[in-house]
A and B are shown apart, each in its own frame.
Chain A
Amino acid sequence: MDMNEIKEIFFQECEEQLAELESGLLKLNDGDRDPETVNAVFRAVHSIKGGAGAFGLDDLVSFAHVFETTLDCVRSNRLDPGPEVLKVMLKSADVLADLTNAARDGGSVDEARSRQLIKELEALANGEVPQVSAAPVEPVAAVAPPPVNDEGFQPVAFSFDDFEADEEPPLMETPTYEIVFKPKSDLYAKGNEATLLLRDLSRLGEMSIHCDMGALPTLDRLSPENAYFFWKISLKTDKGEDAIRSVFEFAEWDCDLEISLVEDEAVQSGEELPMQPVPFDLSILDDEPAVSVGVVEEEEQLAVQQQEIRNAAVSAAGTASNVLQMAQSAARAPAEKSTPAASAAAQSAAAQQAAASAATPTIRVDLDRVDRLINLVGELVINQAMLSQSVVENDTNGTSSINMGLEELQQLTREIQDSVMAIRAQPVKPVFQRMSRIVREIADMTGKSVRLITEGENTEVDKTVIDKLAEPLTHMIRNAVDHGLETPEKRVAAGKSAEGTVRLTAKHRSGRIVIELADDGAGINREKVRQKAIDNDLIAADANLSDEEIDNLIFHAGFSTADKISDISGRGVGMDVVKRSIQALGGRINISSKPGHGSVFTMSLPLTLAVLDGMVVTVANQTLVVPLTAIVETLQPEASAIHSFGSNQRLISIRNSFCPLVDVGRILNFRAIQANPVEGVALLVESEGGGQRALMVDAIQGQRQVVIKSLEANYTHVPGIAAATILGDGRVALILDVDAIVAASRGQSLKPEMSLAAVG
C-alpha cells in the first residue's frame, strides 16, 4: 500500500471524525452535559491531530492542537461550554474541516479566519481559567502515532540486553509516586500505546518500571485482544500528581490507574509483589523505531510481549478500518518490504480490530461496482419478465411446477433488486450536517440568531440524490435565514423569540423522500413579490392571482425580493436555480407561506435516479414513457373542446382556459399528419418555462417504474428524447423529454433538417 492510499484512508476517517465533532458540539449546544459527549468531541480532534502529525500536515496539527487544548479545559471543567464558547468551537470545527479539505485537495484556507480563531481559542483556554499550567501543552498532548512508512507501520524494536540495568538512584527530597498502570484491552483497541505513555511519564523525572506479566496465560490460551501486562512504576518527580495524571489523560477511560505518594524507603516495592519484574530500557523508544525482525527468536514470552507492542504500534497508526486495509494490502503484497512477521502481526491486529468494531461492520466499495451490479440486476428483472411472458404464451395445459418456479423466481429477483438498491441508499445525515454550518455562517453574516433543528436525518435515499441535494438545499437555507427570518429586533417587536428557528426534516412518503424546510420568519411578502413581478413584466398589473400563484412567482428566473444585494443571496439567481436542480432530479417543490408565521418549502424527490416513475403510452404504434413528474393531469378530449387556431394549430379548452395541443407522434416525426385528438388521450404537462401544453398520445398503457438507460453511450443525443428504458418484453422504449417537446411546440424546431431527411 502506498502512502497516498493510507492518506486517503486518513482523510476518509477525518470526515467521520469531523462529523462526530460537529454532532457532539451541537449536542453540547443543546445543553447536553454528558462527559462522554465532551470526550467524544475531544477524541475526534485528537485523532485528527494525531493522523495529521503522521503525515506532516503542520497547519492542521497546529490548529487542532490549540483546539484540543481549549477542549481539554472544557473536559476538565475549567471552562464552561456556554453558548459563546460553543460558538467559537463550532467555528473552529468548520475551520478544521476547511483545513482538512485543503490538506486533501490542496485548496486554500482563509488564514485570517483560522488565526482569529486560534486567538479566540487561546483566549478561552487562558482568559477564563488563569491557572492552565497543568493543561496539556507540548509533549503530553502531542502523542502522535509513530511515523508511518511505506508498509503502513513499523514494528518497534526492543532491546532486552540490559535486564538488570535499572538501578534505583539514591533518594532525594523530591517526592516519589507509585503508579500502577493497568491497561484494559480497549486501550490498544483505541490506538493508544502503553509504551508511549510510559515514555512521556519518564520525562517527568527519574523512574523505574516493573512490568507484571503474571497474568500472561500460556500461548494456547492467549487471546490477542486482551491486555495481560500491567506496570508498576515508581517515579520521582516534583511536578506533582496532576502532571502524572495528564500523561494518562487520553487513556484514563481505558486503564486502571492508581497513583499514590510514597513516603520513603517503602518505594522499593518490587519485592512485595509476587511478580517477575521485567524492566526495559525506555530510551530506545526515543529513537526512530527501526525494523528488526531478528529478535523474534527470543523467549516465548518475550515474543508475545513484542507482539503486543507491535499490535499497539499498529493500532496507533489508525483506527479499525485503517488497520484492516493496511493489513489486507500487506497480506496481498507480502513480497513487498514488509516482513512476514510484520504482516502476521498486522493481520492479527486487524482481526482484533475487526472483532472490536463488530457492532456495525461496514465496507467501502467503489460506486462503479455497485452500479454494475444494479445494471445486472436490472437485466435479470427484464429477463425474468421475458421468461414469464414466453412461458405464459407457450403454456397450453398450465404445468403448475413451471408456474410455481417462475413465481419464486419473480419474488427472488424483486428481493435482489430491492437489496441492491438498498446498497446505494444512504442516510441524508451528512448533507444535513453540512447545512448546520451554512446556517451558522449566514447567521453570523446577517447578525441573526438562528437555531437549526434537523429531523429524520437517518432517512435513506440513493447516493446520487444525496450528492445532488446539497446545492439546492444550501441555496434554500441561505434564503431562509437571509430573507425568511427577521432581525432579532423585529422578531421581538413581533412578539416572537429573538432566536429564529429553521427546521429541516426528511421523511419517506409513498416511495419518495420528502424534504421540508420550514422557517418561523415573516413569510413571503406577497405585496412585494407581486409588485416585483409587475415591474419585471412577469404578470399584468391587474392580474388576479391566488396567494399560491404569487408565492410560486419567486421561482422565476431573475426574481429576487431582497432590497439590497448581499453576499449571501439576492442576486436573482436563487430559487429558479433551485427549482431547476430539483426538477433535474425528478422532483417537485412547493411553497406554503403564512405571513408572520414563516414559510415551508417542501421538496419531493425520487429515492433513486436509476429508476423513474413513468406513464407508459402508445404513440403511432410506438411505446413511449412520459415522466410522471411532468404530468399534471390526463384527459380524454371531446370534440367540442378542440378549437382550431390559425393555419395548423389547435387548442384545447380546459376549464375555460385554452391550452395548445401538441401531437407527440407528429413532433417526433413518427407520422406525417396530425392525429385526430378525439381518438387519443391528452396529457396535460407543465414545462420548465412554466407553460402548459396538452400532449396528445394515442393511448395510455399504464403507470410503471422504469430503469433509465443512456442513449448517448452508444448513439447520440436525440432531440425530444431524454433517455431510454427497457420494457418487460425486452424492447427498448424511449423516455420523452417533455421540456424539449414543449419548447419545440413553441416554434423552436427539434431539428428541421433531420426531420426532412427522416420523412423522405
Chain B
Amino acid sequence: MTYAAKNLTDGRELIAFRVGAQEFCVNIMSVREIRGWTPATPMPHAPPYVLGVINLRGAVLPIVDLSARLGMTPADPTVRHVIIVAQVKSQVVGLLVDAVSDILTITDDKIQPTPDVVSSEFEKSFARGVLAIEGRMICLIELEAIFPQEEREAA
C-alpha cells in the first residue's frame, strides 16, 4: 500500500514498457534514464535474474532481467533491448525490458486493484494494481518489491 498511499495526489506520470507480451509501468519519478543494452559483466554467485553489471558513467550498475525476475522466460538480450535506469531507495539499478512504449498521465482513481487471480505470493507482492487504457492492460509494479532487501542480501 505504500506506493499508492504516497501518491494520492491528482494525476501522476508513469512509464509503460513491454516485457514479453505483457505491459507494465512504473512511476516516472523513479526513472533516471533509458538507455540501450550493452553487454554486462556477469557476477559470480548472482541470482539468475541478475545479468551482471555495466558501466554507467563511472558507476557500477547492476542489470536485472525483469522478465526472469517476474517469473517469465529469461530474456536473451539483444541491441534492441532497453535498460531502464531506476532509483530504488538509495541504489540505482538497470531493468532490462523489451521496449518502452509510452508515458501515461493518470489519476489515482484509474488504478484498479489487482484482480483476485494472482497465482503466487510473489506476484501479489510486486503488482500494485492494473490500468485499463485503450483496451490494453498495464500492470503497475512496485520497484521496491522487486528488489526486497532480503533478496538483495542473498544475492
A interface residues with partner B (beta carbon < 8 Å):
375-376, 378-379, 382, 622-623, 668-670, 709-711, 713-716, 718-721, 724, 726, 730-734, 750-751, 753-755, 757-758, 760
B155 to A, closest residue via Cβ: A716
Contact among B41, B48, B60 for A710, CB-based, below 8 A? B60
B50-85 toward A: CB 8 Å interface, digit per residue (1/0)? Answer: 001111011111100000000000000000000000
In the complex, what distance in Å separates the CA atom of A378 from the CA atom of B59?
Answer: 11
B58 to A, closest residue via Cβ: A379
In the complex, what distance in Å separates the CA atom of A17 from the CA atom of B52?
Answer: 52
- Nearest chain A CB to B88's CB is how many angstroms away? 9
- Residues from chain A with a CB closer than 8 A to the CB of B62 are 714-715
- Nearest chain B CB to A51's CB is how many angstroms away? 40
- Residues from chain B with a CB closer than 8 A to the CB of A720 are 44-45
- Nearest chain A CB to B13's CB is how many angstroms away? 24
- Residues from chain A with a CB closer than 8 A to the CB of B61 are 714
**CB distance A713 to B45 under 8 Å?**
no
**CB distance A726 to B93 under 8 Å?**
no
B23-55 toward A: CB 8 Å interface, digit per residue (1/0)? Answer: 000000000000000111111111110001111
B57 to A, closest residue via Cβ: A379
- Residue of A733, A734, A750 ringed by the most chain B CB atoms within 10 A: A734
B43 to A, closest residue via Cβ: A718
- Residues from chain B with a CB closer than 8 A to the CB of A710 are 60
**CB distance A734 to B39 under 8 Å?**
no
In the complex, what distance in Å separates the CA atom of A720 from the CA atom of B46?
Answer: 12
- Nearest chain A CB to B68's CB is how many angstroms away? 12
- Residues from chain A with a CB closer than 8 A to the CB of B155 are 715-716, 754
**CB distance B43 to A730 under 8 Å?**
no
- Residues from chain B with a CB closer than 8 A to the CB of A713 are 59-60, 91
- Residues from chain A with a CB closer than 8 A to the CB of B38 are 730-731
Given known A-B contacts A379-B57, A732-B54, A754 and B43 have beta carbons under 8 A apart? no
Given known A-B contacts A715-B53, A716-B152, A716-B153, A709 and B46 have beta carbons under 8 A apart? no
**CB distance B46 to A758 under 8 Å?**
yes
**CB distance B45 to A714 under 8 Å?**
no
In the complex, what distance in Å separates the CA atom of A461 from the CA atom of B38?
Answer: 37
- Residues from chain A with a CB closer than 8 A to the CB of B55 are 382, 726, 730-732
- Residues from chain B with a CB closer than 8 A to the CB of A724 are 41, 53, 60
Other A-B pairs, 4, CB within 8 Å; known A668-B45, A709-B59, A724-B60: A382-B58, A714-B62, A714-B92, A732-B41
B154 at the binding interface (Cβ < 8 Å) = yes
- Nearest chain A CB to B2's CB is how many angstroms away? 22
Contact among B41, B43, B47 for A757, CB-based, below 8 A? B47
- Residues from chain A with a CB closer than 8 A to the CB of B42 are 622, 670
In the complex, what distance in Å separates the CA atom of A706 from the CA atom of B153?
Answer: 27
In the complex, what distance in Å separates the CA atom of A673 from the CA atom of B52?
Answer: 21
**CB distance B53 to A711 under 8 Å?**
yes
- Residues from chain B with a CB closer than 8 A to the CB of A732 are 40-41, 52-55, 60
**CB distance A731 to B45 under 8 Å?**
no
**CB distance B43 to A734 under 8 Å?**
yes
* Chain B interface residue number, banded: 20 to 34
In the complex, what distance in Å separates the CA atom of A716 from the CA atom of B93?
Answer: 11
Contact among B41, B45, B58, B93 for A733, CB-based, below 8 A? B41
In the complex, what distance in Å separates the CA atom of A721 from the CA atom of B45?
Answer: 10
User: Nearest 10 CB-CB pairs, A to B?
Assistant: A668-B44, A715-B62, A732-B41, A379-B58, A754-B45, A724-B60, A726-B55, A714-B91, A732-B53, A714-B92
22 of the cross-chain contacts (CB-CB < 8 Å) are A376-B58, A622-B41, A623-B41, A668-B44, A669-B44, A669-B45, A670-B44, A711-B53, A714-B59, A716-B155, A718-B43, A718-B45, A724-B60, A726-B58, A731-B38, A732-B40, A732-B52, A734-B41, A734-B43, A754-B46, A754-B47, A758-B45
B40 to A, closest residue via Cβ: A732
- Residues from chain A with a CB closer than 8 A to the CB of B54 are 731-732
- Residues from chain A with a CB closer than 8 A to the CB of B40 are 732
**CB distance A750 to B58 under 8 Å?**
no
In the complex, what distance in Å separates the CA atom of A674 from the CA atom of B153?
Answer: 28
- Residues from chain B with a CB closer than 8 A to the CB of A716 are 152-153, 155
- Residues from chain B with a CB closer than 8 A to the CB of A758 are 44-48
B79-106 toward A: CB 8 Å interface, digit per residue (1/0)? Answer: 0000000000001110000000000000
- Residues from chain A with a CB closer than 8 A to the CB of B39 are 731
**CB distance B45 to A750 under 8 Å?**
yes
Which B134-155 residues sit within 8 Å CB-CB of chain A?
A: 152-155
- Residue of B45, B57, B62, B152 ringed by the most chain A CB atoms within 10 A: B45
In the complex, what distance in Å separates the CA atom of A731 from the CA atom of B39?
Answer: 8
A754 to B, closest residue via Cβ: B45
A757 to B, closest residue via Cβ: B47
Given known A-B contacts A711-B53, A711-B60, A755 and B45 have beta carbons under 8 A apart? yes
A707 to B, closest residue via Cβ: B58
Given known A-B contacts A754-B155, A758-B48, A715 and B43 have beta carbons under 8 A apart? yes
- Nearest chain A CB to B54's CB is how many angstroms away? 6
B62 to A, closest residue via Cβ: A715
Given known A-B contacts A714-B92, A714-B93, A709 and B58 have beta carbons under 8 A apart? yes
A710 to B, closest residue via Cβ: B60
Contact among A718, A726, A730, A733 for B44, CB-based, below 8 A? A718
- Residues from chain A with a CB closer than 8 A to the CB of B92 are 714
- Residues from chain B with a CB closer than 8 A to the CB of A757 are 47-48
**CB distance A751 to B45 under 8 Å?**
yes
- Residue of B38, B44, B48 ringed by the most chain A CB atoms within 10 A: B44
- Nearest chain B CB to A722's CB is how many angstroms away? 12
- Residues from chain B with a CB closer than 8 A to the CB of A760 are 48
- Nearest chain B CB to A270's CB is how many angstroms away? 74
- Residue of B43, B92, B153 ringed by the most chain A CB atoms within 10 A: B43
- Nearest chain B CB to A623's CB is how many angstroms away? 8
- Residues from chain B with a CB closer than 8 A to the CB of A670 are 42, 44
A731 to B, closest residue via Cβ: B41
- Nearest chain A CB to B40's CB is how many angstroms away? 8
In the complex, what distance in Å separates the CA atom of A719 from the CA atom of B93?
Answer: 20
**CB distance A714 to B60 under 8 Å?**
yes
- Nearest chain B CB to A387's CB is how many angstroms away? 15
Which B114-149 residues sit within 8 Å CB-CB of chain A?
A: none
B42 to A, closest residue via Cβ: A622
- Residues from chain B with a CB closer than 8 A to the CB of A711 are 53, 60
- Residue of B53, B60, B92 ringed by the most chain A CB atoms within 10 A: B60
**CB distance B91 to A715 under 8 Å?**
yes
Contact among B44, B47, B58, B91 for A378, CB-based, below 8 A? B58
